[in-house]
Each structure stands twice: as structure tokens, then as C-alpha cells.
Amino acid sequence: MAHTFFVLLNAVSGPAARMNTILVMKKLLHSLGLLFVLLSFVSCGGKDTIDIYGKISGKVTDVSTGEPLAAAQVTLIPSANTIQTSAEGVFAFSGLDEGQYTVSVQKTGYQANRKNVTVISGETTEVVVPLSVIPVN
């Protein structure tokens, strides 16, 4: 096919026109190659990547009022990672291997509570842990 193109090009135009046409074709092929490379990079990023780790995110609340509890101590078992809830009562553990975990929560003036959760690779497991106020005698 390329040979037919050059035979037709020789029949229609002179040497200068042939040289210009060849240069234009080279630039076009170069641009198409560059476009292909850029599109390949774009398609490899973002949501196409596989996340092998999971995440647990949750909220600690007062069982009676449903209000969030700030500064509650949240421990992830078996990893023993401990964090505190935010002012909105939320917490998160990321970079977790797939498997079973226990979320243990404590706060002064409240009874401790635990929730068992299953982490799946690439997903976020949501959990709400309600705490009951310790009755005053």
C-alpha cells in the first residue's frame, strides 16, 4: 500500500512536493505514536489499579442519644494499633490485610464495647460502635 502511495505521488508531483509530503507524514506518525503512549499511561492509572489492602472506618456514639463521642480510644486487634476518635466521633484504620479484626472502644465514663469486622481487599468496612454510660451509684 505504501508503494502504491509513492508511485501515485511521483506521478502527480515533483521532488520538492514529495519531500514535503514525506516530512508531513513523518510528523503525523510521530504525533500519533506520542498520542498512543499518552493514552496508555492514562488508562493505567486511577481506578484500574488493584488495591490489595482494606480499610476500617467507623464512628463511636452514645447508645442513648446517638451523639458522636470524641476522644474515645479505639484499638484494632490483633494489630494493637490504637487511635482516638475525632471531634465527630470518627476513626479509620487503613493498609489492612484481608481478614478478621476486632474493634475495641473505651472511653472514661462509658462501658467498653467491641465489634468484630471482616476486612476485604480493596474495600472499606464501615462500623458503628455504641457505648453505654456507666451508671452512677
Strands 124-131, 54-62: pairing is parallel
- Three-state DSSP at 39 gives helix
Measure the CA–CA gap between 124 and 53, rounded to whole angstroms.
Answer: 9
Residues 6+ apart with CB under 8 A from 41: none
Domain 54-131 has CATH 2.60.40.1120: yes
Structural contact between residues 91 and 98, judged by C-beta atoms closer than 8 angstroms: no
List the pLDDT tens digit at each of the 137 positions of the chain.
555 555 555 555 556 655 666 666 677 566 656 556 555 555 555 555 667 899 999 999 999 999 999 999 999 999 889 999 999 999 999 999 999 999 999 999 999 999 999 999 999 999 999 999 998 87
